A and B are shown apart, each in its own frame.
Chain A
Amino acid sequence: MSHEAVLHGDAHGHDDHGHHEHHDTFLTKYVFSQDHKMIAKQFLITGMVWAVLGGLMSVLFRLQLGYPDSTFPFLEDLLGKWAKGGRITPEAYYALVTTHGTVLVFFVLTAGLSGTFANFLIPLQIGARDMASPFMNMLSYWFFFAASIVMLSSMFVETGPFSGGWVAYPPLSALGDASPGSKTGMDLWLISMSLFVVSSLLGGLNYIATILNMRTKGMSMTRLPLTIWALFFTAVLGVLSFPVLLSGFILLIFDRNFGTSFYLSDIFVNGVGALPNEGGSAILYQHLFWFLGHPEVYIILLPALGMVSEIISINSRKPIFGYMAMVGSLFAIAILAFLVWAHHMFVTGLNPFLGSVFVLLTLLIAVPSVIKVFNWLTTLWKGNIRFTPAMLFAIGFVSLFISGGLTGIWLGNSALDIHLHDTYFVVAHFHIVMGVASMFGMYAGIYHWFPKMYGKQLNNTLGYIHFWVTIAGAYMIFWPMHYEGLAGMPRRYYDFSIWESFKQFGELNKFISLVSMIVFMVQLSFLFNFFYSIFKGRKLIDPNPWKSNTLEWTAPIHPGHGNWVGEIPEVHRWAYDYGKDGVDFIPQTTPVGADESQH
């Protein structure tokens, strides 16, 4: 306790002077803010809005999958011609599936996750007053905002939003005559995504520059908290892979609007006739897309890996086990992320030798992943575990990461993938390991850093209910889907009733839909907890509520723009001195004592 007292006495005293925003207007403080903390909150809340919309979409299409023969009059009130007679049309179903995927992958789990925590934590945890370029940072959010508006508006065009799947494979995505969703809706989708790429590049460059150049005195790279390492690799992945996606999109825009044939060849569309395009390759797009698409999976996952490492260590009151191995495995995952993209393309007629290389590299990813899992387990081992809501979600993350990671071994092995590709097995796999797991990482982060963001506390009881219902529900939704996949049941089907091979799961689909609705509603209770606590939550009294070592907790409870009053604290040790020499925790700012043991 003595450490804490020494450290925070100062922060308490100056709490009221911590605000430097007297000359800020409402517009510069809350809207066009250049303060990384405000930008983080903007990303978070925009991400939450998208998460609710995206989640609602999944509930709507689960309604169709679970109750294909029923009609729901309220759907017609809600969706109009897209649910004539109270049943979602195939057009609407595919639009919902596509938008759900796009929004959750990019707007929620990329912008909402990286955007929030990279912005919030990087300056606070490395000891910087703000990002390297606060202005670029602000632009990053507003490009995201613009992307959001364009995506939202695509849902209101006459021909409907894009409906060809979030991967947007041409020729389907290139030909308005092949699918009404590929008309104006697709143009807007491409504009929105291009704006999004710009946003993510502006953000990513900033994160990298800040981490490399603006660490406080004593904060060497090997003293960085694992969150920062994870966010660093995430930013590098984004900066190197998003431009490739953008190039792929630009070629697609050309094919759609200017008569080029990058992706088009030998096409005859019913009702239109033969198209003039010859010599293009539809597979080329898939290479360009997955060159981002696979790193994107890790862009989503890495921040969660970092935050979970941090939260598990803090709440086990033990140092993270194998810090260097944790950094090394993040690095290995980041490198391998660029070398495995074609495992999404095993059934495209890929050269078999090339395929074999991708099998080998894909399964290699299991090695750093196993290292991470065992390091977390060893961190828990003989710890003194406090189940804060953040810790619960971190443990849930590990469980989901194991479950979803293991099925990756099935799908990464091409000979098995030929059987399981594009079935519900894949749906189960990526939802568990990338979707729900990263969402858990994000929840863990929100519960953990909420007191730092708003100076208030979230309600714990609601947090516990939120966690237990969500993890049980997530497994009940996605575990049985493995069996559907093992029956060969294809994903992206509007209705299975005409299929002799797949119609045996009617009851199960009903069950899954029901659980997904309950889980969705529990997420709403989290939202209530979040917004209620911002205004009415109990005030934070202890500036370091989790007894954590990292720098953000040395800042005042309500840090102003600039984060610290007076000098930026100096760092003397790594972030994980928990339980060292019998001392519960030793903040990074505490100088190394003469009689302290080496580790």
Chain B
Amino acid sequence: MTMFLTIAVVVLIFVVIFQIAKVSEYVSVLKGEEVSRKQSNKINGFLMAAFLVLGLVGVWYCNNLLFDKTLLAHDSASVEGARVDSMLWVTLAISGIAFIGTQALLFIFAYKYQEDANRKVVFFAHSTKLELIWTIIPAITLTILVVIGLRNWFLFTGEPPKNAMVVEVTGKQFGWIYRYPGKDGSFGKKYYKNIDNASNSLGLIWDDELAHDDIVMEQTVYLIKGKPVKLILGSRDVIHDVGLSHFRLKMDAVPGIPTTMWFTPKYTTKEMKEMTGNPNFVYEISCDQLCGNGHYSMKGIIEVIDQEEFDAVMAKQKPYYYTAFPEKDPSAAADTTVTAAVIKKIN
């Protein structure tokens, strides 16, 4: 019924508008084309000025309403992200000035120079001086932005500090698999044809001894506050993207071509809960590259904790090798309790 009513109302509005439009044509025939044209010219000229004013009020209103919902309301969660934020503010300032200036000129000119029978237009076809001004000023401004941008770009894409920990993140439809190198500090080799969902989700090559102490986790990955981390990204199937909005970074995860990113977490998850005033706050990894029908649900969690907490978490993990070969696990008896602890942590 509501459906029917809505349609009826919409149709009615349409009909009314068409009638008004049709009537306006007849009126203009009666009044004389020129007179009615000039009248509507005045109305549109006024609307130009009104649009500028209302538009700027709208921009202000929208900002009041939404600013606190953006990431800018709080400090970046990574040391490097702070550079993104400051660059963002500089860019905002420059483009903001350009935006208001040019939009104001556009609509003010439209209003001010609307048709007037007494105005003699100026035949003004070019001016090298003016054109040079608006070529050179933007060129200089953009050079500044490029310099700031590239300094950050080379920092972000460059080598991470030497003390960085390394974690491998692998995307699959539709979730994330994390791997820590274990005690030896090196990842074992892997080959995608070894992948087996039950016991070898990454296709590790068990002949490679380096793989024996690698730790594999799903859902939640643990990082250490203040310690730079280098993520080595990959994908098992299609292209995914590790989106870390709170850290202001993202990077694609491509099958067959490893990519890397690094950053330094600045606040623990607990600290962020306080800063944002949101008790449910978690660092989320969002997949930012369309990867199939479950794309929107491809979520990972990053838990940033202190070094001590991290050590405690890691002490409870057992190498993935023992999942594949439970018979080789020296602590097989203690197995159930560890799993229970992991499950508790995840939840």
Contacts and interface: CB of A to CB of B under 8 A. Distances in A.
B307 interface: no
Q: Identify whether the interface residues of B are mostly helix, strand, loop, or mixed.
A: helix
B347 interface: no
Interface in A349-363: 349, 352, 355-356, 359-360, 363
B181 interface: no
A361 B203 CA distance: 41
Contacts of B139: 367
A419 B249 contact: yes
Interface in A263-294: 264-270, 273-274, 278, 280-283
A45 interface: no
B135 A422 contact: no
Contact of B245 (A347, A363, A487): A487
Contacts of B252: 347-349
A384 B293 contact: no
B326 interface: no
A418 B256 contact: no
Contact of A416 (B3, B88, B237): B88
Contacts of A364: 142
Given A352-B154, A418-B156, A319 B284 contact: no
Interface stretch (B209-217, B294-302, B315-323): B294-302
Given A347-B241, A383-B113, A387-B45, A370 B138 contact: yes
A377 B112 CA distance: 12
A380 B110 contact: yes
Nearest to B197: A270
B115 A386 contact: yes
Interface in B317-334: none
Interface stretch (B63-71, B218-226, B338-346): B63-71
B57 to A, nearest CB: 12
Contact of B99 (A171, A406, A494, A524): A406
Nearest to B245: A488
A521 interface: yes
A494 B10 contact: no
A281 B3 CA distance: 50
B296 A495 contact: yes
Contacts of A547: none
Given A282-B254, A319-B125, A492-B290, A395 B48 contact: yes
A462 B18 contact: yes
Given A406-B95, A459-B21, A461-B20, A525 B113 contact: no
A385 B131 contact: no
A415 B22 contact: no
B110 A395 contact: yes
B193 A274 contact: yes
Interface string A320-335: 1111110000000000
The residue in B17, B21, B297 that gathers the most chain A C-beta atoms within 10 A of its C-beta is B21
B24 interface: yes
B121 A578 contact: yes
A356 B236 contact: no
Interface size class of B (residues with CB under 8 A): 35 or more
B125 A349 contact: no
Given A178-B173, A528-B18, A323 B125 contact: yes
Contact of A419 (B99, B109, B113, B248): B248
B121 A387 contact: no
A352 B153 contact: yes
A472 to B, nearest CB: 7
A352 B158 contact: yes
A218 interface: no
A483 B63 CA distance: 8
A266 B10 CA distance: 54
B5 interface: no
Interface stretch (A201-209, A237-245, A552-560, A579-587): A579-587
A579 B126 contact: no
A399 interface: yes
A500 B284 contact: yes
Nearest to B95: A406
Contacts of B18: 462, 525, 528
A91 B296 CA distance: 12
Minimum-distance CB pairs A-B, first 4: A488-B245, A265-B256, A349-B259, A415-B152
Given A356-B153, A374-B102, 20 more contacts: A90-B296, A268-B237, A320-B125, A363-B142, A366-B142, A373-B102, A381-B109, A382-B124, A406-B98, A409-B94, A416-B87, A416-B88, A419-B250, A459-B25, A483-B69, A486-B70, A500-B278, A524-B14, A525-B17, A579-B121
Interface of A: 74, 90-91, 94, 163-165, 169-172, 175, 178-181, 264-270, 273-274, 278, 280-283, 316-325, 347-349, 352, 355-356, 359-360, 363-364, 366-367, 370-371, 373-378, 380-387, 392, 395, 398-399, 402-403, 406-407, 409-410, 413-416, 418-419, 421-423, 459-462, 464-465, 468, 471-472, 475-476, 479-480, 483, 486-488, 490, 492-496, 498-502, 504-505, 508, 521, 524-525, 528-529, 538, 576, 578-582, 599
14 contacts: A91-B293, A94-B290, A268-B172, A282-B257, A360-B150, A367-B142, A387-B48, A399-B107, A409-B91, A409-B95, A409-B142, A409-B145, A472-B51, A488-B286
